[in-house]
Structure 1
Amino acid sequence: MTENERDRDAEGRARNARPRDGLGRPLPYGAPGVERQPEGVVRTPGATVNEAQRLLDAGKPFHAHEVFEDAWKSGPEEERALWRGMAQLAVGLTHAARGNTRGGARLLLRGAGSIEAYGTGPHSLDVPGLAAWARELAERVDAGGKPVDAAASAPRLRGASRG
């Protein structure tokens, strides 16, 4: 690919086809990367939570964010803020793991604020636990300024969170 060419998807839309690492960072063309999440997948809420948890546990919060983004875009209007907030939590963890601790902390706090309106949590999500996890991690990364291990810092989406 030349410098002036753009990657395009099947519909002709610009799409970066470079391989990515586990935290979603672009790698050079031809480098081995982590398989990307397919975009636009419509899942049940339970399947969304299960797939996102699998990716978080594997240290792939960027990829989990894409799963939440699909739910945000395809779900019912009354749950869009929930799924957007969940995506913000995953992106916050991504930034914290990449070393952008200040940006990660901001996104974690924004995500916590977005999901708290959902009380104890629909779809078995532990909303209070996730909000507490996000605030604790935001405080820790903002104060410490060091990247975190994405898998070791990943939350439990259902039940008690770990951090």
Structure 2
Amino acid sequence: MPGEVRQVALLLLPQDEQAVVEAIIERYPAVKFLESRPWEAESVPPIVGSINSSGSSLAIWNSKIHPTLPVDIRPNGNIMGPQIGPVVQWLRSREIPSGSLNAGRWAATVGNGQSPEMSDFIKGIWDVLMKLTRNELERLKKGSYNEDSVVSESRFRIGPMALERAMCGELKLVSGGMILRPRP
């Protein structure tokens, strides 16, 4: 039986992401970040040198736990690595030119079939994320356009730079059609 998917929604600016990456690498030196694109060869994952030069979708890979990753060779010849399972999926937040930050997320498989080492790694990087972010946001109630009609929203983690810019009114926080803001 496959495990469950654990996920967390993220509102991170590039500086926030870089702080998370540095803290993860400090704790887990074997970690690599893979861009979600076709691989050059089965043994050549697309490792990124810097998260800020990568695309919008990554995988967090602990090469100490999984020295090699399974691949899928598509009918068109593209070699694709895993998006979840032996890696943690990272869909990056995107700042839209209009001054909005669209939420990203982390997703990981936990539970049945997961090795104890991978379970510990997932818990460890979640701990890093929790220490470097906050979840003190609120959102407009569904169907309401009244700015005073808000509810607490704790499913999102926000980085300090994103929080600072949102508190100054320089950045609008969004997830799909949901509008979020820091709690006063």
Q: TM-score, normalised by structure 2?
A: 0.30
TM-score calculated relative to the size of structure 1: 0.32
Over alpha carbons, which structure has the higher Rg? 2
